[in-house]
Chains A and B, each alone.
Chain A
C-alpha cells in the first residue's frame, strides 16, 4: 500500500536541467537503490521525494496520494543524511526522540517507542551519551534510529555510509539490510558506490545526467546491462569493451581475432562494441583462445589476480586465480565465455540482443 511512484519528474536549477523526466514505481516494502556518478541527480530526486525541493514538473505519489503540495513532515517519510545531522547538544535519547516532537503520542508512549528503536539498533546502553562520545558507526545508528522512531512509510537514505571507513561501511551495510528484513519498510537508498547498490538493493536504478539508464534487480543489471554506461558502471573492474564489426555470425575485432556469437543476427559490417567482463575471460591453453596480448601489469588481490593486458593497443583486464597468476611481460591467449558476451551498438551504446 505504501508504494511510491514518480511520474515525469523534472528539475531545473536556474537554466540547468538536472532531471529529465524520472518515471519509477516502487512496491511496498521494496529496497530500491539509486546509483550513479556524482552529480547525476540522485540527491535531487531524493530531496524532491522528501519535499525539501520542489519538482519543476511531474508528480510524486506516496501510498497512492499525490504529495507534491505537502510539507515534508506530512509526507510520512523519514530521511537519513550523509553527515547524520545529529544535534551535538542533545543526548542520543533526545536525538532519537526529536522525530517525535510533533507526534501526538503520550510521554510514556514516546519513551516506549524510543526504547523499542534503541533495542532494535542495539543502542540501549548508549541512550544517555552525546553524539561526540560515539563512534562513527554508532552515530550512523542513531541517525537511523531517529528516522525509524517516526515509523514512516518510506525511508530515504542519502549516501549514509560514505563517511565511514571501509570496514565499518561493510558492517553497516549488512545491518541496514537486516534492518530492512526486520521492519519491512520501503527504502529508497542513494549511493555512488555500485557495490553498495548490488549488495543492498531489491532493485537498482542506475542514473546518469538526470536520466534513468536502467531499472532492474542486481542480477539483471549485471547480466543484461541496457547500455554501455550501465555495463561499465556495474561490476569492478569495469567490463572490457572491444571495438569491432559484425561479420559472419560474430564480431571481427579491430585488434584482430574473430569471436563467434551464435544465435544473433546483425547486418554484416555493423559497428559494434563487444563487452566482456574480466571474470569471463580465461587464459587458454596453447593455441586456443581468440585474443592475444602481452601482460603489462599484475594486480594481486589474494584469491584473484587482475591481469592488465595490452592486446593490439587496447587495454584489457582479465581475472585469473591468484595461485596461478602469470608474470608481467608474458604473451598470453584469452578465451571468452560465449554465454557471457555483451554486444552494444557502437554509435548509440545501446545493448543489442
Chain B
C-alpha cells in the first residue's frame, strides 16, 4: 500500500477550500469577503489567462489583454487534430478510470474490514496505513522506479497506475464512513443469510454512497492531473498522459504556448464536469469524514 502519488494533493486542495461566511453585515464579514475574494482571484487568474490564451494567435500571446483582439478557434483545431493529443487524452482517461475503480473497491474493502472486524493486529495495521500518509511522493518515486525496472513495468499503463491502485487516504476515509453504519444493518443481513462479502457489497456499500462519490472524485482528479510519476515512468510518446504530453508541446523547438494553453483548457473540461456533478458529494464527504474523525 502506498500513499498514492497524486491523491493527497487533490484531497488537500478540496479540504483547504474555504467555507462561505454565514453572517452578513458583521464587520468581520467584510474583511473575510475581501480576503476570500483576493484568494479566489489569485486562484482563478491563471485559469482565465489559460482560457484567454487558447483563443489567441501567437503574436498576441504576450499581451496582457484578456479579451483577444482577434479571437480564433485555430488552436483548438490544431490540438484536437493532433493524433498524439487524442491518444494522451485516452491514456489519461483510461488510467484515471481504472485507478478510480480500483480505489473504490480496495479502499472500501480494507476500510470496512478495519472498521467492522476485531482481529489481532488491527490497530497496528491501521497505524501503519496512516503513517504512509506522511511520506511525500517525491521520496517514493525512486523506489517505485527501481521496482518498475525490476519487474519490467517501465513505460506501461500498469507502471503508471500501480502506485495509486490503493491509497491510505482512501482507506482512512472509507473506514471513517463505515463507522457511521450501525452494526444492526450488518447483523440483520447476517441473520438473513448473507455471507460477509455480500454484506459488505450489498448492504454496507450502498449506505456509504456519498463517501464513494467523494473518493471517486478525489482519485479521478488526482490521477487526471498527475505529472511527476507519469513523467518519470513513461518514455514513449504513446504512453504519455495529458499533463506529460502538454509538456512536449512546450519543449519542442519553437514553444507553442497557445497550443499548451489550449490543450490544458481542453484537459480541464472533464474535471470541471465531474466536479460540477459531484461537488455536493465532495463537500458532504469532507464534512462527514471530519466529523467522524
Contacts and interface: CB of A to CB of B under 8 A. Distances in A.
Given A85-B184, A87-B185, A79 B203 contact: no
B194 A72 contact: no
B184 A82 contact: yes
B191 A88 contact: no
Nearest to B198: A101
Contact of A88 (B189, B193, B207): B207
A85 B187 contact: yes
A78 interface: yes
A101 B193 contact: yes
Contacts of A101: 192-194
Interface residues of A, number: 23
A37 interface: no
Given A81-B184, A85-B184, A87-B185, A73 B206 contact: no
A79 B203 CA distance: 17
B191 A78 contact: yes
A278 B262 CA distance: 87
B27 interface: no
B206 A85 contact: no
Interface residues of B, number: 15
Contacts, number: 52
Contacts of A71: 193
B277 to A, nearest CB: 19
B293 to A, nearest CB: 23
B193 A73 contact: yes
B190 A72 contact: yes
Main secondary structure of the interface of B (DSSP, over half): helix
B182 interface: yes
B188 interface: yes
A20 B184 CA distance: 25
Contacts of B193: 71-73, 101-102
Of B185, B191, B192, B207, chain A has the most CB atoms within 10 Å of the CB of B191
Interface in B164-199: 182, 184-185, 187-194
A88 B189 CA distance: 14
Of B187, B188, B209, chain A has the most CB atoms within 10 Å of the CB of B188
A72 B207 contact: no
A77 B182 CA distance: 21
A99 B209 CA distance: 23
A36 to B, nearest CB: 21
Contacts of A88: 207
A320 B187 CA distance: 48
A60 B265 CA distance: 68
A52 B185 contact: no
A89 interface: yes
A18 interface: no
A83 B182 contact: yes
B191 A73 contact: yes
Contacts of A198: none
B187 A52 contact: yes
Nearest to A158: B184
A78 B206 CA distance: 23
Given A81-B184, A82-B184, A83-B182, A50 B191 contact: yes
Interface of B: 182, 184-185, 187-194, 203, 206-207, 209
30 contacts: A50-B187, A50-B191, A51-B191, A52-B187, A52-B191, A71-B193, A72-B187, A72-B190, A72-B191, A73-B190, A73-B192, A73-B193, A78-B191, A79-B188, A79-B191, A81-B184, A82-B184, A83-B184, A84-B184, A87-B207, A88-B207, A89-B206, A98-B192, A101-B192, A101-B193, A101-B194, A102-B193, A146-B188, A146-B192, A150-B192
